[in-house]
Structure 1
Amino acid sequence: MNITKENIDALNAVVTVNIEKEDYNDKVDKILEDYKKTANIPGFRKGHVPMGLVKKQYGKAVLVDEVNKILQENLNKYLVEEKLDILGNPLPRMQEEFDWDAETFSFEFELGLAPTFEVNLKKNEITQYTIVADDKMIDGQVENIRKQYGKLISQDEVTAESEVTGIFTNEEKEIENNVTFGLDKIKGKANLGKFVGAKVGDTITLKTKGLFNDDHDLMNFLKVAHDDVHDLDIEVSFKINEANTRELAELNQELFDKLFGEGNVSTLEEVKAKIKEDAERQFVQQSDQRLLNDVTEELIENTEFDLPANFLKKWIQSAGEQELTVEQAEEEYTKSEKGLRYQLIQDRLIKENEVQVQFEDLKEFAKQMIKVQMAQFGQMNPSDQELEDIAARILGNEEEVRRLTDQLLSQKLLELFKEKANLKKKEVTYENFVKEVYGDSH
């Protein structure tokens, strides 16, 4: 057995595995001996079949099988021992005149090698947002709470303050959707004028273009696909089935107790402080996700290295259940290149910064997630034993372990970015965060 490697360039190599007769002969002979004892061949008693006949019938198949086993085992061992950082799997080179009747066999494999590169987290400045709940937002939340817990008063005629329930229809686009919304969502005096003064039971005709303050409301109210809403310009009918106005709930202790538990809050100022605290806790998740996305994009764009592209396209061609055409493999490579680049960058960051996900970390992470989920269903104080039992069930599922590991790894990388990346901190309201990050049309 002899294995050698020839480097074609920095990203491509060929490994040659030479297998001699002494590497496989004893194993092949032993298997054929076993076959001889058990073979059922007409004209011969069991165990008395001549070895020549056994070899003729089974020899080639046993030889091929054993040589392939030796080949795979030793190739894998070689890659591990040589610490070769490869992409994809070794690709066997086809040999047109391969002779299984020879005693010595030579196999060649193409390798795609991972590139060497440096990751610089300090290269460019990245904005780290701190999102704050401003007075406008908090007052809006107080107003929403008062509406939510207020009384619904039925009306015969629609007013500017009404909340209407009815059915949007358009035969051509197959729209028929029952909705409820406040008229504060309607854009422009002309559209509002069609509603105000209308009676319950009336049907009004509206143009979808510029109907709502936010075009995305069309998705929910008409059940139209996201890609269609911005250019949607059709006529729809709206039959008014109900009109209601809301008498706002009083800001009193009864309402405070409903919202935050008995005796926990007793003034409007405390309510606003609680709303601010809850909102900003949720905003942290959004700003963290944005930071993770921005650092990821920055690293992909500005960490330069080449990939063994031709090798990877050939590997993609043959890696799936069905072989792809050259064009399909090219398309798949183009789609996956960015993800592969980030995977290599992430692996380098993990290695250089010794980022690890230990089982105890994973269990603790799972327990914290379970606590949050249970709290959403009103179970505020689960026992340690309950959390342990549920975590054990979750961690017994391989797919869940993989999913949680990915989430925890992202969290650890986020902590690394906060510590080591070149960050510029910026405090913004949620409204300005959405405008700045997603644009006005979000």
Structure 2
Amino acid sequence: MNIVQEKIDDLNALVKITLAPEDYTPNVEKAIKEQAKKANLPGFRKGMVPAAHIKRMYGKSILVEEINTMLNDNISKYLTDNSVEILGQPLPVQEDENQYNWDYNDTFNFAYELGLAPAVDIEVSSKDKFTQYNVKADEETLNERIKNIRKSYGKMTNPEVSAEGDILYAELKQLANDGSEFEGGISATGSIRTDAVTDKKILKTLVGVKKDDTLELDVNKAFGGDAAAIAKLLNISEEDAAELKSKFQVTVKNVNRLEEADLNQEFFDKIFGADAVKDEAGFTAKITEEIESMFKQDADRKLQNDIYTQLTEQTKMQLPDEFLRKWLKATNEKLTDEELAQGYDDFAKNLKWTLIENKIIKDNDIKIDYKDVFEAAKQRLDAQFRMYSPTPLPEDQLAQYAANFLQEKENANRIFEEVKALKVFDYIKSVATLNEKEITYNKFTELK
């Protein structure tokens, strides 16, 4: 077997492989014998089929399979042994002039295109400057959060007349263009959440109504074309909801209002545990702490995005773009030329960041241990469970969930990549200059 690399330029190369009969024959003969032992063919006892018979019937397919296996194994070994860093995977070169008989006497010549990883020149230092935002709760955001929590622990009442924020339990019937009931049309009973209505004029018509009132409603306009909300209300598919243009007759069956819970000790204990909070000031302080903790996560994501953008823009490198476009098309059969053109720049930018990450990890000997991945998985699952219950899971139970979660290869790979990214960002933050800036949440959301 002979493998040689022909460098086309700094970013592209060819790997050429020659396989002579003496290279592949032992593997093929072994595969034929193994197939003979397993074969179950008419006229032969199982495992007693002659190897010559298997070779005559399936020889060419076995030969092709073994050749492909040898090619894949040896290309990978060659790239590893020679420290050839590539992007994507090797792409076979189609050579029409090579016509083989596949009769165990051919000398096979194959060629593969390689996209070579470029050299990455990056050194993060104190000269790299970023803004670390310290996001504080503004009054509007804080009040909205408190209102939502009080409603979550409040009680349902049935006022005579509706107000903004109420829920109308109603019967809906589809209307024809002339305003009459559409025969065979959609008929449903559902809850209209007035806080989900985006059209202000329509919202006004839903305020001040009472039980047994009838009104006309353009559901598409009312919910701003939100197919999911319309489908849920009318109990139809989202596809049908997206096409729906009809108006509906709405007959109110009941007005429901979720009253906010009183700010008393019983309410405080439900949320934070017995006697953890004693008064309204303590409650407000706790909620402020909670939401500013969430704001910190938003600020961290903003900082990471700023680091990503700045470093990818200032780190100059060329990619084998023509090869990568060809590789993306070869590995994604449904990818259209238009989709490729629209998405390639983002793909290339993300690939550049991956190369930057790998360079930083290598140059600074950053280690990613299983315990880091395990702890990250636990944190991810703990956050998900806390969305449904403020009471944390027992440590041993959370650890078991994390272990089960990481048994799925896709989950493990995703968490590994997240840990890898965080370790790189932590390193960058430790050496770069971070200018801290305090900002209210409503101003922070205006930042790009």
TM-score scaled by length of structure 1: 0.72
Q: Is the contact between residue 152 and residue 246 of structure 1 (CA under 8 Å) also seen in structure 2?
A: yes
Q: Is the contact between residue 197 and residue 222 of structure 2 (CA under 8 Å) also seen in structure 1?
A: no
Which residue number corresponds to residue 265 of structure 2?
253
Q: Is the contact between residue 15 and residue 109 of structure 1 (CA under 8 Å) also seen in structure 2?
A: yes
The CA distance in 1 between the partners of 2:323 and 2:441, in whole Å, is 47
- The counterpart of 1:262, out of the listed 274, 283, 298, is 274
Letter matched to residue 352 of structure 1: I
Which residue number corresponds to residue 106 of structure 1?
109
1:362 aligns with 2:373: yes
* Runs (5+) with no aligned partner, structure 1: 227-231, 438-442
Q: Is the contact between residue 313 and residue 330 of structure 1 (CA under 8 Å) also seen in structure 2?
A: no
Which residue number corresponds to residue 335 of structure 1?
343
Q: Report how far residue 282 of structure 1 moved.
A: 1.8
Q: Is the contact between residue 115 and residue 323 of structure 2 (CA under 8 Å) also seen in structure 1?
A: yes
Distance 1:12 1:38, change over 3 A: closer
Which residue number corresponds to residue 276 of structure 1?
288
The CA distance in 1 between the partners of 2:444 and 2:132, in whole Å, is 11
* Runs (5+) with no aligned partner, structure 2: 178-185, 239-243
| Deviations 1:392-423, CA, capped at 9 Å, x for gaps | 32233323322322333343344345335565
| Deviations 1:219-251, CA, capped at 9 Å, x for gaps | 74786999xxxxx99976654433466776543
1:180 aligns with 2:193: yes
The CA distance in 1 between the partners of 2:23 and 2:339, in whole Å, is 42
Q: Report how far residue 5 of structure 1 moved.
A: 1.5
Distance 1:72 1:164, change over 3 A: closer
- The counterpart of 2:141, out of the listed 137, 148, 164, is 137
SS of 1:389's equivalent in the other structure is helix
Distance 1:240 1:344, change over 3 A: same
Which residue number corresponds to residue 402 of structure 1?
413
Distance 1:236 1:379, change over 3 A: closer
Which residue number corresponds to residue 429 of structure 1?
440
Aligned 1:89-168 pairs, distance under 5 A: 89-95=89-95, 96-100=97-101, 104-119=107-122, 126-146=130-150, 149=153, 154-158=158-162, 163-167=166-170
Which residue number corresponds to residue 328 of structure 2?
316
Q: Report how far residue 265 of structure 1 moved.
A: 0.9
Letter matched to residue 284 of structure 1: K
The CA distance in 2 between the partners of 1:382 and 1:363, in whole Å, is 16
| Deviations 1:175-230, CA, capped at 9 Å, x for gaps | 96522336998847x964x4565443223456789979xx699974786999xxxx
Q: Report how far residue 85 of structure 1 moved.
A: 1.0
- The counterpart of 1:286, out of the listed 280, 283, 298, is 298
- The counterpart of 2:357, out of the listed 326, 331, 349, is 349
SS of 1:435's equivalent in the other structure is coil
Distance 1:21 1:284, change over 3 A: same
Letter matched to residue 255 of structure 1: F
Letter matched to residue 155 of structure 1: P
Q: Is the contact between residue 212 and residue 252 of structure 2 (CA under 8 Å) also seen in structure 1?
A: yes
Q: Is the contact between residue 100 and residue 106 of structure 2 (CA under 8 Å) also seen in structure 1?
A: no
Q: Report how far residue 83 of structure 1 moved.
A: 0.8
Aligned 1:60-75 pairs, distance under 5 A: 67-75=67-75
Q: Is the contact between residue 194 and residue 203 of structure 2 (CA under 8 Å) also seen in structure 1?
A: no
Which residue number corresponds to residue 440 of structure 1?
none
Distance 1:420 1:207, change over 3 A: farther
258-267 or 21-30, which deviates more: 21-30
Distance 1:431 1:206, change over 3 A: farther
Which residue number corresponds to residue 305 of structure 1?
317
> What RMSD over aligned residues (CA atoms) do the two structures have, in Å?
4.9
Distance 1:296 1:244, change over 3 A: same
Letter matched to residue 121 of structure 2: E
Aligned 1:191-270 pairs, distance under 5 A: 192=204, 194=205, 197-205=208-216, 220=229, 238-243=250-255, 249-270=261-282
Q: Report how far residue 113 of structure 1 moved.
A: 1.2
Q: Is the contact between residue 316 and residue 333 of structure 1 (CA under 8 Å) also seen in structure 2?
A: no
Number of equivalent positions: 419
SS of 1:406's equivalent in the other structure is helix
Aligned 1:406-421 pairs, distance under 5 A: 406-420=417-431
Distance 1:237 1:429, change over 3 A: farther
Distance 1:85 1:199, change over 3 A: same
Q: Is the contact between residue 32 and residue 51 of structure 2 (CA under 8 Å) also seen in structure 1?
A: no
The CA distance in 2 between the partners of 1:143 and 1:69, in whole Å, is 64
Q: Is the contact between residue 18 and residue 108 of structure 2 (CA under 8 Å) also seen in structure 1?
A: yes
Q: Report how far residue 275 of structure 1 moved.
A: 0.7
Q: Report how far residue 112 of structure 1 moved.
A: 1.5
SS of 2:135's equivalent in the other structure is strand
Letter matched to residue 165 of structure 1: L
The CA distance in 2 between the partners of 1:77 and 1:128, in whole Å, is 45
SS of 1:155's equivalent in the other structure is coil
Q: Report how far residue 343 of structure 1 moved.
A: 3.0
